[in-house]
């Protein structure tokens, strides 16, 4: 549509400047003129869902959040898997600004310590946030230099199998609540995953409704549910019971990342399970872009390491931490309301 509109506008502009031999200017039919005006207005007003101010692209005023299901990482991780993780994390977290990692499927304290040692600089300068619960697949958060952790906790939510790990963070002039989650797979039963997500979103909405609350939330992880577009790209595209995640979100949250991220075989991707779910406030002000980091980036890394790091590819989200937000307003911290 954009190419067509620009082509028509250029054609009309050139025709309008040219004149026939008699010197009389060309006139456009009223219907065509109106159509072109509508197209021009549409192009001026349309803003891609993950567009951002030009200054954000350089990275000086941005941070990055990476989410990765690391596949039941525990005490007995092989040397080659640890090397694959180390190289994969170096690739995923290789940016100039502050970085955060949301990890899923960590079996125990030993697994968390293993992962921490594979972080850039051997984990030095990083802050870990993990609790070894009774569940065998816990969630964790890790924070690089430049990220202030205002508080952190495990959320004991009834009916949620793998307890989410929550923290409120301040990065530059921005702050938000971040959750690392892993919804139940339940042999592919999407209704079980959706029920858990509803409970997590209910908690978030209750926090957002409190007086003086920070409206910015980022829920990162393995949801075992697709986005609408992500389902069409997945192996399970024809599975009628595998309902898209948008049906649970309502109007106050947005799902990001449509690419398939679970894997079949060493490098192929299969289903769209991993996402960032962000509040509208965060999407309208701090979001820059979000995407999967897939086979092209990680295939060579894993081949060199001699092992597959995980049965999932990681995903990454870039956010604004200072300057003008997407909505044109200066980015400013709201305060750690979820710490109260």
Compute the half-sphere exposure of residue 93: CA atoms within 13 Å on the CB side of its CA. 26
Q: What is the pLDDT of residues 190-217, one digit of tens each?
A: 999 999 999 999 999 999 999 999 999 9
Q: Match 């595209």 to its residue by tokens.
A: 237
Q: Which pLDDT score, from 0 to 100, does residue 296 have? A: 82
Mean pLDDT, the chain, rounded, equals 86
* Residues 140 and 146 sit within 8 Å (Cβ to Cβ): no
Q: Which pLDDT score, from 0 to 100, does residue 25 have? A: 37
C-alpha Rg value of the chain to the nearest Å: 23
User: Minimum mean pLDDT among 124-133, 208-217, 299-308, 319-328: which range?
Assistant: 299-308
Residue 181 pLDDT greater than 80, yes or no: yes
* Residues above pLDDT 70, as percent of the chain: 83
Mean pLDDT for 330-337 is 97
Mean pLDDT for 96-102 is 96
User: Minimum mean pLDDT among 11-20, 167-176, 284-293: which range?
Assistant: 11-20
Q: Which pLDDT score, from 0 to 100, does residue 141 have? A: 98
Q: Which pLDDT score, from 0 to 100, does residue 59 have? A: 65
* Residues above pLDDT 90, as percent of the chain: 76
234 vs 14, higher pLDDT: 234
Determine the Cα–Cα distance for residues 288 and 65; give it in Å rounded to an integer.
Answer: 11
| Four-residue CA torsion sign, 220, 251, 172, 152 | negative
When pLDDT is cut at 50, 70 and 90, the band that residue 32 belongs to is: very low
Q: Which pLDDT score, from 0 to 100, does residue 276 have? A: 98
Mean pLDDT for 289-304 is 89
When pLDDT is cut at 50, 70 and 90, the band that residue 297 belongs to is: confident
Q: Which pLDDT score, from 0 to 100, does residue 239 have? A: 97
Q: Which pLDDT score, from 0 to 100, does residue 53 have? A: 37
Q: What is the pLDDT of residues 56-79, one digit of tens each?
A: 333 679 999 999 999 989 878 899
Mean pLDDT for 286-308 is 91
Residue 240 pLDDT greater than 60, yes or no: yes
When pLDDT is cut at 50, 70 and 90, the band that residue 24 belongs to is: very low
Residue 166 pLDDT greater than 70, yes or no: yes
Nearest to 97 by CA among 173, 152, 168: 173
Q: Which pLDDT score, from 0 to 100, does residue 34 have? A: 40
Mean pLDDT for 93-99 is 94
Contacts 24+ apart (CB under 8 A), 20-23: none
* Dihedral pair phi/psi, residue 206, rounded to 5°: -65, -40
Mean pLDDT for 303-318 is 94
CATH 3.60.10.10: which residues of the chain? 56-339
Residue-by-residue DSSP string for 248-303: HH-SSEEEE--S--BEETTTEE----EEEEEEHHHHHHTEEEEEE--HHHHHHHHH
264 vs 152, higher pLDDT: 152
Q: What is the pTM of this model?
A: 0.83
Q: Which pLDDT score, from 0 to 100, does residue 264 have? A: 86
* Dihedral pair phi/psi, residue 259, rounded to 5°: -70, 145
Residue 45 pLDDT greater than 90, yes or no: no
56-339: which CATH architecture?
Answer: 4-Layer Sandwich (3.60)
């Amino acid at each position: 549509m954009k190419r067509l509109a620009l082509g028509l506008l250029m054609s009309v502009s050139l025709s309008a400047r040219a004149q026939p031999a008699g010197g009389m200017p060309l006139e456009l039919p009223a219907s065509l003129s109106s159509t072109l005006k509508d197209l021009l207005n549409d192009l001026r007003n349309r803003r891609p869902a993950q567009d951002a101010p030009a200054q954000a692209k350089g990275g000086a005023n941005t941070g990055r959040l990476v989410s990765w299901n690391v596949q039941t990482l525990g005490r007995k991780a092989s040397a080659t898997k640890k090397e694959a993780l180390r190289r994969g994390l170096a690739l995923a977290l290789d940016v100039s600004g502050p970085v955060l990692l949301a990890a899923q499927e960590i079996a125990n304290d030993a697994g968390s310590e293993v992962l921490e040692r594979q972080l850039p600089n051997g984990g030095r300068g990083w802050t870990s946030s993990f609790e070894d619960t009774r569940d065998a697949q816990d969630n964790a958060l890790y924070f690089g230099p430049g990220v202030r952790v205002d508080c952190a906790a495990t959320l004991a939510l009834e009916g949620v199998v793998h307890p989410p790990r929550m923290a409120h963070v301040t990065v530059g002039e921005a702050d938000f609540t971040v959750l690392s989650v892993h919804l139940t797979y339940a042999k592919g039963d999407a209704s079980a995953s959706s029920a858990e997500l509803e409970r997590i979103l209910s908690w978030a909405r209750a926090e957002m409704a409190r007086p003086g609350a920070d409206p910015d939330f980022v829920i990162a992880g393995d949801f075992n549910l697709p986005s609408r577009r992500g389902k069409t790209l997945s192996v399970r595209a024809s599975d009628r019971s595998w309902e898209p995640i948008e049906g649970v979100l309502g109007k106050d949250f947005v799902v990001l990342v449509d690419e398939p991220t679970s894997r079949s075989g060493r490098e192929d991707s299969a289903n769209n399970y991993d996402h960032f779910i962000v509040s509208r406030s965060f999407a309208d002000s701090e979001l820059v872009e979000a995407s999967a980091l897939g086979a092209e980036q990680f295939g060579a890394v894993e081949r060199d390491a001699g092992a597959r790091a995980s049965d999932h590819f990681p995903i990454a989200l870039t956010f604004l931490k200072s300057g003008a937000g997407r909505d044109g307003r200066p980015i400013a911290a709201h305060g750690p309301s979820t710490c109260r």
